[in-house]
Structure 1
Amino acid sequence: MFENRALEILIIAAVVLLLFGAKRLPETARGLGKSLRIFKSEVSAMKTDTAQANTVQATTAPRADLRAVPAETGGNRVDAEAETTNRV
């Protein structure tokens, strides 16, 4: 089984060498390495941004908009407008 796999790898390597040539092969490998590095850094930055957004969202929980009515109308009652906006 290993002999078949090694033969396949050699054939693929020979085809790649014929397609790209000996001079362009190192340049192509460098370009591929750079693009993979950039992709990896962008993915990690995206994960960091998502984690920060989730943290900010969790720490800033929505609060009820309760406005006290002036003291001369009872003082402890909640404004009727605030009651209707907070109702689910």
Structure 2
Amino acid sequence: MFYLGAVGGPQILIIVLVIVVLFFGGKKIPELMKGLGKGVNEFKNASKGDQASSEAESEDEKESK
């Protein structure tokens, strides 16, 4: 098929961006990025919540000893 081994980092990024623009169109990309940003923020908040709950549990265990 295609051999992209000779293509470096920035070239691959440009190729991917061109394919995304062709596939989704210019008007749909901001909506996609907005959804992606919301998903990343939710993931970060969930991981922070897990850390906070695990820290609270470890403090409770220390207090009970």
Q: Which bracket does the TM-score occupy, shorter chain normalised?
A: 0.7 to 0.9
Q: Distance in 2 between matches of 1:52 and 1:4?
A: 46
The answer for the alignment partner of 1:34 in structure 2 is 38
- Name the aligned partner's letter for residue 48 of structure 1: A
The answer for the alignment partner of 2:16 in structure 1 is 12
Q: CA RMSD in A?
A: 1.4
Runs ≥4 residues deviating over 6 A: none
The answer for the alignment partner of 1:44 in structure 2 is 48
- After superposition, the C-alpha distances for 1:24-76 in whole angstroms (9 at most, x for unaligned) are 10000000001100110110011000000010011112xxxxxxxxxxxxxxx
Matched residue of 1:22: which SS?
coil
Q: Which runs of 5+ in 2 are unaligned?
A: 1-6
Aligned counterpart in structure 2 of residue 25 of structure 1, from 26, 29, 35: 29
Q: Which runs of 5+ in 1 are unaligned?
A: 62-88
Q: Distance in 1 between matches of 2:56 and 2:64?
A: 12
Identity of aligned residues (%): 24
The TM-score normalised by the length of structure 2 is: 0.81
